[in-house]
Amino acid sequence: MTTSAVAPGWTGEASAHAGISVRCQNVVHIYTTVAGHDVVALRGVNLDIAPGEQVALLGPSGSGKSTLLGLFGGLQRASAGQVIVDGVDVSRIPEAELTRLRAGKVASLLQGARRNLLTYATAAGNVSFARRAMPAAEVRRLPSPRQLLEMLGLGELTDTPVNAMSGGEQQRVALAVTVSSGAGLLLADEPTSQLGHTDRDTMVDLIQRVNAELGTTVVIVTHDPDIAARIPRRVTIRNGRIGSEGVHGRDYAVIDQDGAVHLPEDWIQDYPPGSLVEFEETEDGFFVRRVDHAPGNPR
Amino acid sequence: MSTFLAGLRSRRWLNVGVFLLGVLAMVVAVATPLYARSSAEHLLDQRTEQRPVTETGLSVETAPQSPPRLEVDPAQDGEGNPEKQMVPLTQEERDQMLSQATDLVTTDAANTYWLPPTTYLLGSGEYRTGANSYQINTYWRDGMCGQADVEGTCPSAPGEALIDPTMLETIGGQVGDEITVVHTGSGGNNNPVVDYPQTYTIVGTYTIDDNASPYWFNPGHTGGDGSLRPPSLGSSTPTQAPALLVDQSSVTFNAATIAGADRPVDLDALDIDTMDDAEVQLATWQTSISDQGPPIIQPDDVTTFETLFEEVRAEQDLLSRVTLAAVVPLIVLALLLLYVLVASASEVRRQEVALAKLRGFSAGKVVRFAVAEPAAVLLLTVPVGIALAVVGERVLTGVWLGPTPFVVTTQAVVSAAVVTATALVAAFVAVLGVVREPLAASLSAATRRRGTSTWSLLAQGALVMLSVAAVVQILTSDATQSSSFVELLAPLFVAIGASVVALLLIGMLARVWMRRTADRGGLSPFLASRRLVRRQDLMQLVLPLLLATAMAAFAASAWKVADDWRVSKAAATIGASTVYYTDTAPARLQWVTQQVDPEGRYLAAAVPPAPRTVDGGRVALVDASRFARVAAWDSQWGSSGSEVQGWLTPPGELDPIRFSGSHVRVELHDIGLHGELNLPLELWMRYVPDSNGDERLATLGSLPEKGSVTLDGFVSECDDGCSVQQLYLSGSSSSVSDASGRVTIASIAADGDEPGDWRLDDPDAWRPALPFGDSGVPPVSIDAGPGGLALQISGEPVVVRLTTADVPVAPPIVATETTVLDLVPGYTADTVAGASVNGVRTPMELAGRAEALPMVGNNGGLSDLTAALREYGDQATNIPITHLMVAAGTPPSVLDQVRKQGVSLTVSRSEAEELEELRSDAFSLGWRVFLLVGVLTLVLAFLGVLALAVVQLRWRSYEVAALRVVGVRRRDLRRAIITEYVALLGMAVVGGALAAVASLLLVLPSLDIGAIGEFDPAVDFSLRWAVVAGVVAVVMVVVLGIALWISRRTVKQGTPATLRQADAR
């Protein structure tokens, strides 16, 4: 499957909600383990995502990127701070309102295609299922499941049960199902994991097409640098904090509210924890210099 | 809809499991009340049929409307004092009588619940042969030749008759002969009673299978003894000969002919719902005929349904309670399993529910989405379950009870509604756990073990408290036996209580086990114990399996206890495989049995205890020499028939004096008697002819007050030999005498070939015979010597009896354990007050005890008939009913020979008939349902275990795959799964068995297991270990089978590929 899978006739009419903005202010999230211990997953995250923007969340396992995505989608509520989606703090709104948000504005694509689908149902059946929570009037404004799948180049899979599809097909159908409600924010967790190169590229193309055609804001969690390289904005999370951002091929460190700055990934091994640096202000900004030991310090 | 159907299809096995459980619950819930209703209908029919037809049917009789009419015989007219003869009834008069009777039983009230009337004409007369006269009916009944087995032709003309074949053989006649019946009637003023003979030509013979059947209605119209035995000694009632069946035109005697019509109750029309109306209709009909004066003959006894219907209603009520109590555990279990299965299904659908939430389904929509599938499956079970319940109930009822009307009862409808609603609630509660889970938790791959909630702890505590309270209430209840609903449910309470305790114990034991296996022991036990501690999925099966095992073991054991008791009761009530009730004298009957069956393999004579006696006064007399082979014996009674026979047999051989001839000559010397009443004394002898066994009494002559005398008495039927029972010295006409003094019997001899060895010189040969006088002291002392038998008579007013000493003065008695026996002073320490013929109290030697005995049940004793007849034979003439005990497998020819000896064998009862009747009572039917439900409970539990095993296959294979990846061998994994199953479910089974044992020991003895009469054998409530062990073995084998199968399947599926697939998901 290639990028031509996106039908040229697919227009913004399929989207009920144009791109939605997301804003995080000092977001903290704490998990309680089975043993009863608290684990801090996010330690004061500040992030703004503009409507229609494409953002890739990167970071090592356990850094908190999937947690952040969950907070955007209202799957969990932040322990502290604000998660404002389309102007609404989703950590504070009632469950019913959150449910309505999930039914229309925000669409989550979970990791693993089958988790997003009724595996015994057909592709069309899954689309219908995904729209069941929407008001009938809104559904009527959307293309029919068959039309939608054809628009996404999945027409031949319309009546195929998910169980009978390949992994790549399942993932594309999962994306189609996820965006079928015309959401303004697509949250995709590792949408290309377990896919081959061709399927991976097709999937990214599809996501970008959705973004381009519908103006849907896209937030993708990924480990794959190749995928990240194709997303205009990359946000790296480390140890529960926004570590750096890459915009249009350039990487930037992000100063958090405490004034802390994460070193670029490549430098970390040269600056092990406890290393001393000193800042020197220059005309262009700061100059950071490594200090072997501070004056008066025997190290 | 297609997505919904696809979902159903994708989880088809799970849904099939839910469907089967739902269907089973529905079948039981609906079929049980239907069966209870059918059983009640069956009981109504049975109880009605058990009543004599005359008590439930309608009948009226009418006599000729005009007084007896006489006319002068035209042949003698004008010749002085001519004889008058009865004017025969005309056809018109007969028709009028029949029509009147018919009209009276065909009122509107009578037409609903009674079969169409049958009319009859009945005349009564005498049949005279030799010196004997017998009562005989001449009988015409509409359609009689079609209802009897006729050989010959049906009477169709005046003077033709069918005769009973035995009677024809007895009188030595044949078809074509004539037989005369003498009617007796008024002969006018000067001759008040005149015979009017009427002669019939025998045109054939007839046999009636059952003259108490609805068609023949009144057995008194046809019954009689075809052997024409002479009336018993002392009886004033002439023997009834079998009726002659005649043509209607032959019934012409106008003085005493009766026309009647009768209508047996219509069992098809009478049912539980119409009982009240039938009672009203009966009363209405009775009112309608009550003002009918002569010639209508009003019945002596008023027919009433009151007691019958009361009995049926009581049994119906009991049956409802027992069946409901039986079915509740099964429904509870079905719903529990349903809950477990639906909860498992919900776990399987957890991802889908999470997806629904993720897609923004509102809370209501999520619930509807989650519940729709199980609800649809459960709703589908309703019509299928009801249909199967109806079919099953009809089949079961047909097999067990025979045809019964099908009635949809309110209980069945309510039961179906309750089960449907409860199943839906159970399904709703089961899915609620998944629905209420936070979205993030639902989306995570891992399932968190939920902690025990306060509510759950409270519920468990309440269940245990309820169980304890129910059992304590039963144990402290004053009532010995009861069938209250709470008590019937007590086994369920005990099982539930045990289940809660078992769950707590299993949790603790599993942790201990894991700690032990972690330190040492094989890998498989460690894996099994670790899984038990960490995963609680199998724990869900503990409660259902324990409950099922407990209920099945309890039901099977209780049914066995109840059935054993019924077998025991039938054996005790009847006393032998078959017993014929006859009016033949005991001595004669015993003689017949000894003649026909000299080896004592098939027949024994017996005399039941005298009515209204208890304890030592309640003694049945049996021919001890053949007791073990012929009498019934139940192993629950302890000992054995042979042992009891040994106890019953008097010590030493009974050796009566025998003689032959027609006269007995007695020389009496040294007579010195004086008294104020009834002198002179008479000497009597009681003896039994060898030729017929009938006891005879001969007067040998009177004694002078002083001196010597030789008496010569006539003895009948002793040419071939007779045996002496006793010698009496009495006042005139065998009355008591106050004579005192002495007399010596110098010699006695008969005039036949066998004069007899009278043992007059043997000091140990003779003794005073019982009964003694008021003093209790023997009225005579005996001193035997060369001069003869010197008697010293005390003078106490009494009949002085002498008997040979081979008959023990205190014959052995075998009593039941609960029989209260009074010691008799002056005898040995074991001599107690027993009873002989007609309940006369007499000393007996207590030879042994048993839990129960044939003929007396749990109260009274047995003694030897032969010894009793020798001691008290003269009392035996008053015995109305004698029993002929017949062993199982007795050839019909043996009974034919008995009949040929003139013993009437028309009324009988077999142990099998008694048992069948006992097994069809409400208690038995209820306990049978209990047993069936117990079996179904087990089946249900097996289905549940299997279904859950299949449901768990997926994630178990994932676990197995993970372990295989780290190098655990397949064999160890299989062993671990089997060990886990056997350890957990084995404990549930053992717990169930213990709960059953507790219920059997604590609860069962307080439950009604049958209608226990005053003298019925006690119920043996001892544990039926074999039954409990059998149930446990079956459950363990099935559980092991499931464990083996699931272990193979799991390990086969649990490959590394499984992990990849799971990851892909």
Mean pLDDT by runs of 10 across the 1065 residues of chain B is: 81 81 85 86 86 87 73 57 69 89 88 92 87 87 92 92 89 90 70 77 91 87 76 59 91 82 91 90 87 73 79 82 74 76 76 86 86 88 94 89 86 87 83 79 61 59 65 58 66 80 81 77 74 69 84 88 92 94 88 94 94 91 94 90 92 86 93 79 90 86 90 90 90 78 93 90 89 85 90 87 89 94 88 91 94 93 93 78 93 91 84 88 77 82 80 77 80 84 85 88 78 85 92 90 88 73 48
The closest alpha carbon to B831, from B845, B812, B821, belongs to B845
Ranking A154-158, A193-197, B37-41 by mean pLDDT, the lowest is A193-197
The closest alpha carbon to B730, from B677, B792, B683, belongs to B683
Hunting for tokens 């009240």 — which residue is that?
Answer: B276
Ranking A146-155, A232-241, B228-237 by mean pLDDT, the lowest is B228-237
- Residue-level pLDDT at B624: 93
B806 CB neighbour count, 10 Å cutoff: 19
Q: In angstroms, how far apart are the furthest CA atoms of chain A?
A: 76
**Are residues B6 and A125, on separate chains, in Cβ contact within 8 Å?**
yes
Distance CA B733, CA B735 (A): 5
**Taking the mean position of all CA atoms in its chain, how far away is CA B930?**
19
Q: Which residue of A has its CA nearest to B1065?
A: A114
Q: Does residue B294 have a cis bond before it (omega within 30 degrees)?
A: no
**Are residues A129 and B358, on separate chains, in Cβ contact within 8 Å?**
no
By Cβ distance, the residue of A100, A117, A125 closest to B2 is A125
**Are residues A181 and B359, on separate chains, in Cβ contact within 8 Å?**
yes
- Residue-level pLDDT at B662: 92
Beta-strand relationship, B193-207 and B149-152 = antiparallel
Give me the mean pLDDT over the A156-180 stretch: 87
Q: Which residues of B741-762 are buried (b: 16+ CB within 10 A; e: fewer)?
A: bbbbbbbbbbebeebbebbbee
Distance CA B944, CA B784 (A): 87
Q: Enumerate the residues of chain B whose CB falls inside 8 A of the CB of residue A99.
A: 357, 360-363
| Amino acid identity for residue B774 in this structure | D
Strand, coil or helix: A262 = coil
Specify whether the CB–CB gap between A229 and A220 falls below 8 A: no
Distance CA B206, CA B193 (A): 32
**Taking the mean position of all CA atoms in its chain, how far away is CA B911?**
8
Q: Enumerate the residues of chain B whose CB falls inside 8 A of the CB of residue A119.
A: 10
Distance CA B259, CA B297 (A): 10
Q: Which residues of B277-302 are buried (b: 16+ CB within 10 A; e: fewer)?
A: ebbebbbebbeebeeeeeebbeeeee
B386-393 own/partner pairs: CB under 8 Å, 24+ apart: B386/B26, B386/B30, B386/B416, B388/B23, B388/B26, B388/B27, B389/B26, B389/B27, B389/B28, B389/B29, B389/B30, B389/B31, B389/B34, B390/B30, B390/B31, B390/B34, B392/B27, B392/B31, B393/B30, B393/B31, B393/B34, B393/B35, B393/B38
Q: Enumerate the residues of chain A whose CB falls inside 8 A of the CB of residue B357.
A: 99, 102
Q: Enumerate the residues of chain A whose CB falls inside 8 A of the CB of residue B370.
A: none
**Are residues A99 and B6, on separate chains, in Cβ contact within 8 Å?**
no
Q: Which residue of B has its CA nearest to A75?
A: B440
Size of interface A-B (CB pairs under 8 A): 85
Hunting for tokens 């057909």 — which residue is that?
Answer: A122
What is the distance in angstroms between the Cα of A263 and the nearest Cα belonging to chain B? Answer: 32
The closest alpha carbon to B620, from B360, B838, B293, belongs to B838
- Residue-level pLDDT at A10: 42
What is the pTM assigned to this prediction? 0.72
**Are residues A96 and B351, on separate chains, in Cβ contact within 8 Å?**
no
What interface predicted TM-score (ipTM) does this complex get?
A: 0.85
Which phi and psi angles does B787 have, rounded to 5°?
-80, -5
What is the distance in angstroms between the Cα of A267 and the nearest Cα belonging to chain B? Answer: 34
Q: Which stretches of chain A sit within 8 Å of chain B by CB?
A: 34, 70, 73, 75-76, 95-96, 99-104, 108, 110, 112, 114-122, 125-126, 128-130, 132-134, 161, 167, 181, 194
The closest alpha carbon to B707, from B654, B669, B655, belongs to B669
Phi-psi map region of B271: left, alpha, beta (phi>0 left; psi -120 to 50 alpha): beta
Q: pLDDT per residue over A200-212, tens digit each? A: 888 888 888 888 8
**Are residues A102 and B360, on separate chains, in Cβ contact within 8 Å?**
yes
**Are residues A99 and B361, on separate chains, in Cβ contact within 8 Å?**
yes
**Are residues A99 and B362, on separate chains, in Cβ contact within 8 Å?**
yes
Q: Which residue of B has its CA nearest to A123?
A: B3
Phi-psi map region of B552: left, alpha, beta (phi>0 left; psi -120 to 50 alpha): alpha
Q: Enumerate the residues of chain B whose CB falls inside 8 A of the CB of residue A116.
A: 355
Percent of chain A with pLDDT over 70: 91
- Residue-level pLDDT at B594: 93
What angle, 0 to 180 degrees and rounded to 10, lies between the N-to-C axes of helices B306-348 and B350-358? Answer: 70
- Residue-level pLDDT at B843: 93
- Residue-level pLDDT at B565: 92
What is the distance in angstroms between the Cα of A75 and the nearest Cα belonging to chain B? Answer: 6
- Residue-level pLDDT at B477: 57
**Are residues A99 and B360, on separate chains, in Cβ contact within 8 Å?**
yes
Q: Which residue of B has its CA nearest to A116?
A: B355
**Are residues A100 and B9, on separate chains, in Cβ contact within 8 Å?**
no
The closest alpha carbon to B609, from B433, B359, B861, B793, belongs to B861
- Residue-level pLDDT at A3: 35
pLDDT at A73 over 90: no
